[in-house]
Structure 1
């Protein structure tokens, strides 16, 4: 079970030991994994586990910038994205939340009772 599975999201971004990781659900579809590859994230696999991470050769500022650009794009693409609190200073997190809110169906308007008009 991946961290994304535990959080019940499609993708989760987190920071550990100086690296930004991007974890997907177990058995994530290849198009999602290819999209993460296309965003410049490095794909890694061990046993039955697959994850992405920001390339190690980048400095902390470049790593954060890359991940900050990827998170909103994924959220706008319809994926549920979780971002470790404090990872990006909140910018990408707010963008992901805004994208999620924009995808939600607006509530159905309440039926207003018809009021009879007075005529003179």
Structure 2
């Protein structure tokens, strides 16, 4: 069982490392997408997960995270993130773009018919 079985992808922090777990039996398309984002893929006893490379500095980490989460959401994957890991402007903008569309607001209120008293 994977930590991401409730979601397609779960970002979490443990022991000064950021891990990215995928659903058990995740498709190669998803795993390759995570590879392309610069995450290191690991295999052990049938488990597959990704980690942020240890050489990645904080600025590069935030930039990668700001690209990764919206990209995964746009590709149709459900993403779960530990609170406080991410939240840059690109990430917030992408989440806003995927929010439910709002009906247009009228620029002027509709005219009321004049009724004499």
Aligned pairs, number? 101
TM-score, reference length from structure 1:
0.72
C-alpha distance in structure 1 between counterparts of 2:93 and 2:46, whole Å: 32
Structure 1: segments with no counterpart, 5+ residues: 107-120
Q: Could you tell me whether the CA contact under 8 Å between 1:76 and 1:96 is conserved in 2?
A: no
Please give the TM-score of this superposition, normalised by the length of structure 2.
0.73
RMSD over aligned CA atoms reads 2.4
Indicate how the Cα distance of structure 1 residues 97 and 16 shifts in structure 2: closer, same or farther if over 3 A, else same: farther
- The 1:93–1:44 alpha-carbon spacing in structure 2 relative to 1, beyond 3 Å, is farther
Give the drift of 1:66: 1.1
Tell me the alpha carbon deviations over residues 77-109 of structure 1, each in whole angstroms, 9 at most, x when there is no partner: 11101111111147537744753x45x9x9xxx
- Tell me if the contact between 1:13 and 1:21 (Cα under 8 Å) persists in the aligned partners: yes
Contact 1:74–1:81 under 8 Å retained in 2: yes
